[in-house]
Amino acid sequence: DAGITQSPRHKVTETGTPVTLRCHQTENHRYMYWYRQDPGHGLRLIHYSYGVKDTDKGEVSDGYSVSRSKTEDFLLTLESATSSQTSVYFCATSSGGAPDTQYFGPGTRLTVL
Amino acid sequence: LAKTTQPISMDSYEGQEVNITCSHNNIATNDYITWYQQFPSQGPRFIIQGYKTKVTNEVASLFIPADRKSSTLSLPRVSLSDTAVYYCLVDRGGGTASKLTFGTGTRLQVTL
């Protein structure tokens, strides 16, 4: 498996607090992605990055921001967590080749009380 | 990117061959077909990818007819450990993964 780690793996927080999730890769992949997965919705793209400091919105970006200051790290921030952001968050990377393959991290289970 | 349609769920007994068909009527010339597998509490993982005809690896086979409007993932002699969600995706690489829609996949339940 590609070297993708996520931290923390589990987090419980309260409504209104800021939360930052970290994704770290050792594959030197150009592209990085943040998804959330909820029952009945499958995987939905929140934000993605196509290079250092280059990011763009995905399908469900409201309430989230991202940053990528180094190739290996992609941070997802919930500015002010809400209960609707309780979910499992997955980071993924890909090289951007053709064909391409995404490699996923182990996930972070976030609970907002 | 072409949207895909696959069954919501399938059931199988251990030892049987399972075939999951995915339709992608609007697939483009440069598109590839990729299948991912997701176990509970884990991220999806790549299992197989193809462009046309047949591809086989140690995990599965992928059959793609000449018109490429559908594809079939074949899992030989499934075991309980093959219980998972399987996603069919069509993309052309080059950074277009951000346009992918994973959907809810096909939930395969294998029992004794």
Quick check: A15 pLDDT over 90?
Answer: yes
Buried b (16+ CB within 10 A) or exposed e, A15-38: eeeebebebbbeeebbbbbbbbbe
pLDDT band, very low/low/confident/very high, at A1 (cuts 50, 70, 90)? low
Judged by a CB distance cut-off of 8 A, whether residue B52 touches chain A is no
Write out the two tokens for A7.
């931290």
Q: What is the percent of chain B with per-residue pLDDT over 70, rounded to a whole number?
A: 100
B55-75 tens-digit pLDDT: 999 999 999 999 999 999 999
Cβ-defined contact of A50 to B30 (cutoff 8 Å)? no
- With a CB cutoff of 8 Å and minimum separation 6, the contacts of A62 are none
Cα(B28)–Cα(B69) distance, integer angstroms: 9
A65-76 b/e with 16+ CB inside 10 Å = b? ebebeebbebbb
Instruction: Please compute the mean of the pLDDT values over residues B79-95 and round it to a whole number.
Output: 91
CB proximity B4 to A under 8 Å = no
Cα atoms in the 13 Å half-sphere on the side-chain side of B101: 12
Length of chain A: 113
pLDDT classification of B30: cutoffs 50, 70, 90: confident
According to the per-residue pLDDT averaged within each range, which of A51-60, A76-85, B27-36 is highest?
A76-85
When the pLDDT of each residue in chain B is averaged and rounded to a whole number, the result is: 92
Alpha carbon of A94: minimum distance to chain B alpha carbons (Å): 8
pLDDT band at residue A2, thresholds of 50, 70 and 90? low
Encode pLDDT of A75-97 as tens digits. Answer: 999 999 999 999 999 999 999 88
Q: What percent of chain B has pLDDT over 90?
A: 75
- Interface check A74 vs B, CB under 8 A: no
Say which of B30, B43, B103 has its CB closest to residue A90. Answer: B43
Residue among B36, B87, B98 minimizing CB distance to A56? B98
The model's confidence at residue A112, banded by pLDDT at 50, 70 and 90, is: very high
Average pLDDT over residues B23-32: 90
> Considering chain A, what is the average pLDDT of its residues?
94
The answer to whether residue A30 scores a pLDDT higher than 70 is yes
Q: B73-111: buried (b, 16+ CB within 10 Å) or exposed (e) per residue?
A: bbbeebeeebbbbbbbbbbbbebbbbebbbbbbbebebe
Find chain B residues with C-beta within 8 A of A43's C-beta: 44, 87, 102
Rounded Cα–Cα distance for residues A29 and A31 (Å): 6
Measure A10 CA to nearest chain B CA, in Å.
Answer: 12
B51 interface with A at CB cutoff 8 Å? yes
Q: B3 with B26: CB under 8 angstroms?
A: yes
A45, A98, A101 ranked by CB distance to B94: nearest:
A98
CB atoms within 10 A of CB A48: 25
Of A44, A58, A96, the CB nearest to B95: A96
